[in-house]
A and B are shown apart, each in its own frame.
Chain A
């Protein structure tokens, strides 16, 4: 996508009729860049600045301290459980919606978007109402000594809910754009449903899928609101990294709070880099398979000039 748009914009630039006056261009550019610098880059830099204010030793100490390590491990564990589940749900849902017609399709699409429109705090409270001690299944859970709320399962559930749309939302437009031609061809050639999915559909969307997984992972690790409600905030046990940051901040332990926050910021930066790379791969892959008809059979991604 990137290469195509940039190509188009240069042509746009060269054309006298569509070109803006230089001062308009530069004003807009300065305006947007300074906005970014002020509201995005500066706060991000300040996180790292605050984290390292008391030196590397304090920094390392605060992220290797016992409760911080427990928070990091828990956060990774949550992502490790919720992201693969979302991957499966997301691919299944996207495949159904993009490649099939059935009754209630519109409804399913709406449901997939639901987590985007529900406030994370409400998500937490919903699970509380269902699994809390006074919730629908509360008595049964207590009787069988099962812990959902204020334990890892509750945090996983809340995380899955808020990250649910990322994979599906990424795949649906991609699959729809690719159409059903290749699948139909596969079926005509004698492939069964599973083979069609595994050998045709999935390879076509793998970069988009990876993109969705990365976004979903970033959100899973960074979620605060929903997790905060169901966590119980037990130090070293049910504190995720974002919760740990808040706790440290409230303890006037600013250096440690920003140190853990810088890890999350670092995660965001790494996500951004991988995302850009994947986007680049995906667009060249898309171009390779769909823009040039002769290349339809060479599915291995090739970088277009």
Chain B
């Protein structure tokens, strides 16, 4: 009586065989050495280009074949994943605070990790600029124009996005540095700015898609590299980049997660990897992917020429990331007060 129907038997059998065939063929091939670089959203293109270059360099230097895997996501959530056990040999995140969090909560990095590499461990920098629609119909030139009534602003949520924190602090710093600027006037300015925000996405890439693909908003406060990428990938005929009078020096840091790399036996390769970002090859690739190289003389002049002059202030204006985070973005911090209103 059992499964007498031949067709039914055949059906079950053939589907099992197909699955088995696919299942067994998916075994992973062994590599000499593997590295995992856990990064934030806008660096996809950069590391897609950098990883094969480093693999070639490493093989020439040591004869070892190396495979580099990439993981991308919001800077904060990527840090969370590493804390929860994602085995990153290298982290390349959007802001130092996120790597601080890994060091503090998992102990897999020394607290002074940022002093291990030159230039605050940031081989490339960026800044915050405005992306507007072609012809700049709302006439946006500087931060002041973003608080005008009727201007729709797109920026991600600073509680969840590293890029958004840079945006927020850039606006704050601008207001603070105006004649007669005080923390009170800065808070007032930033409050007015966030009143104009029409969509508060959770990450920088989400915001780009909102502004570019869905056509929402008049101005998108963005990483410079992200703005360049959006313009070049999705149509120079549709968008323009506006550089404000003053902005923040955004330093996306890189670090070897020594606790993990030591255990996996990849410390040498991981260290070479982050150091290679400072080399001519690394700097050239960074500049080509719209990150400002720390050593412009090493990059291609035509790539460097694309970057406009910007007056910047650094995170030191806020007393470093730890203090900025505690003052502005912690629960009940100034951002909560602003956005809760």
Contact = CB atoms under 8 A, between A and B. Distances in A.
Contacts of B12: 210
Contacts of A252: 229, 233-234
Interface in B1-44: 1-5, 8, 11-12, 19-20, 22-23, 25-26, 28, 36, 41, 44
Interface stretch (A1-9, A32-40, A165-173, A227-235): A227-235
A232 B71 contact: yes
Given A73-B26, A206-B3, A250-B41, A138 B209 contact: no
Given A250-B41, A300-B4, A150 B85 contact: yes
Contact of B85 (A138, A206, A236): A138
Contacts of A149: 84-86
B70 interface: yes
Nearest to B234: A252
Nearest to B230: A252
Interface residues of B, number: 37
B29 to A, nearest CB: 11
Interface string A268-294: 000000000000000000000000000
B26 A250 contact: no
B84 A247 contact: no
B87 interface: yes
A114 interface: no
A250 B226 CA distance: 12
A76 B85 contact: no
Interface in B196-239: 205, 209, 229, 233-234
Given A134-B83, A235-B69, A299 B23 contact: no
A155 to B, nearest CB: 13
Interface residues of A, number: 37
Interface string A234-251: 111100000000010111
A300 B2 CA distance: 9
A110 to B, nearest CB: 30
A80 B26 CA distance: 11
B69 A247 contact: no
Interface string B48-90: 0000000000000000000001111100000001011111000
Contacts of A232: 71, 81, 86
Contacts of A198: 2
A147 B264 CA distance: 13
Interface of B: 1-5, 8, 11-12, 19-20, 22-23, 25-26, 28, 36, 41, 44-45, 69-73, 81, 83-87, 105-106, 205, 209, 229, 233-234
5 contacts: A147-B87, A233-B71, A233-B72, A233-B73, A234-B36
